[in-house]
Amino acid sequence: MAEIIDGRKVAAAINERTAAEAARLAALGVSPGLAVVLVGDDPASQTYVTMKERDAAALGIASFDHRLPADTEQGQLEALVDSLNADPAVHGILVQLPLPRHLDAEPVIDRISPGKDADGFGVSSLGRLVRGLPGLRSCTPAGVMELLRAYDVPIEGARAVVVGRSTMVGKPMALLLLEADATVMVCHSRTRDLADVCREADILVSAVGRPRMVRREWVKPGAVVVDVGTTRLDGKLVGDVAFEEVAEVASKITPVPGGVGPMTRAMLMANTVAAARKAVR
Ligand code: GUN
- Per-residue pLDDT tens over the stretch 96-143: 999 999 999 999 999 999 999 999 999 999 999 999 999 999 999 999
- Alpha carbon of 117 to ligand 1 centroid (Å): 12
Residue minimizing CA distance to atom 3 of ligand 1: 97
Tell me if domain 29-125 and domain 139-261 are identical in fold.
yes
Q: Is 96 a catalytic residue?
A: yes
Q: Ligand 1 pocket, 94 CB below 6 A? A: yes
Judge whether 220 counts as a catalytic residue: no
Marked catalytic residue, from 52, 116, 171, 252: 52
Identify the pLDDT of residue 14: 98
> Could you tell me the distance, in angstroms and rounded to a whole number, from the CA of residue 84 to the centre of ligand 1?
18
Options 55, 117, 119, 202, the catalytic residue: 119
User: Atom of ligand 1 at shortest distance to CA of 268?
Assistant: 6
pLDDT of residue 281: 74
Which DSSP state fits 166? -
The question of whether 52 is a catalytic residue gets the answer yes
Scanning the chain, the segments in alpha helix (DSSP H) are: 7-27, 43-58, 74-86, 105-111, 123-131, 139-150, 170-179, 194-198, 243-247, 260-277
Distances (CA, A) of 195 to 185, 191, 200, 204, 265: 13, 10, 9, 11, 30
| Distance of alpha carbon 11 from alpha carbon 8, whole angstroms | 5
Residues of the chain with pLDDT under 70: none
In angstroms, the CA 4 to CA 7 distance is: 9
- Identified catalytic residue from 55, 96, 116, 171: 96
Q: What residue segments make up the domains of the chain, in order of their start?
A: 29-125, 139-261
Q: In CATH, which superfamily holds the domain spanning 139-261?
A: NAD(P)-binding Rossmann-like Domain (3.40.50.720)
Instruction: Verify whether ligand 1 is closer than 6 Å to residue 202 (CB atom).
Output: no
CATH topology of domain 29-125: Rossmann fold (3.40.50)
Q: Which of 38, 48, 139, 230 to mutate to test the pocket of ligand 1 (most atoms within 8 A of CB)?
A: 48
Q: What is the CA radius of gyration of the chain?
A: 19
